[in-house]
């Protein structure tokens, strides 16, 4: 496979991912996760009764898509704070593919460990009996 063909395949994959993402966003905009049962349920919450770091994420995104930033933040503040970082990371990934760079944009292990540490702290904090 020549280099131009490989580049087109990468672009095609990104277009498929973007299309699936757009379908997911449209579905989440039209159907409130608190009213429809086809959305996945949190197994951790059903098993333990505790909130995992991702609990409330779909409801949060639904509220954010409708412009209710405070309500979105109340459902899952970690996700709302993480969205700009995720957007920048995806933008760098797409720019790497468009510019046809061979070295992909990757995060260093230190950033990933910091992210996991923040995720763990948030997961513990949101289950404390008294929120500060």
Q: Give residue limits of the domains in the chain.
A: 3-125
Position 99 scores a pLDDT of 79
Query: What is the rounded distance in angstroms from the CA atom of residue 126 to the CA atom of residue 4?
Result: 49
Query: What is the rounded distance in angstroms from the CA atom of residue 122 to the CA atom of residue 52?
Result: 9
**What does the pLDDT look like over 70-112, one tens digit per residue?**
999 999 999 999 999 888 888 887 788 777 777 766 778 998 9
Position 108 scores a pLDDT of 85
Query: What is the rounded distance in angstroms from the CA atom of residue 44 to the CA atom of residue 64?
Result: 24
- The answer to whether the CB of 94 falls within 8 A of the CB of 14 is yes
Does the pLDDT value for residue 4 go beyond 80? Answer: no
pTM of the model: 0.81
**What does the pLDDT look like over 41-50, one tens digit per residue?**
999 999 999 9
Mean pLDDT computed over 55-81: 95
């Amino acid at each position: 496979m020549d280099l131009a063909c490989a580049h087109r395949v990468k672009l095609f994959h990104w277009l498929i991912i973007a299309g699936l993402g757009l379908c997911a966003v449209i579905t989440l905009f039209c159907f409130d996760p608190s009213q429809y049962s086809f959305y996945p349920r949190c197994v951790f919450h059903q098993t333990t009764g505790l909130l995992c770091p991702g609990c409330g994420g779909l409801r949060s995104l639904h509220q954010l898509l409708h412009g209710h930033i405070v309500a979105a933040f109340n459902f899952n503040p970690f996700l709302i704070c993480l969205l700009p970082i995720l957007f920048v990371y995806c933008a760098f990934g797409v720019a790497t593919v468009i510019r046809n760079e061979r070295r992909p944009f990757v995060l260093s292990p230190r950033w990933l460990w910091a992210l996991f540490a923040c995720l763990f702290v948030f997961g513990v904090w949101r289950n404390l009996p008294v929120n500060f």
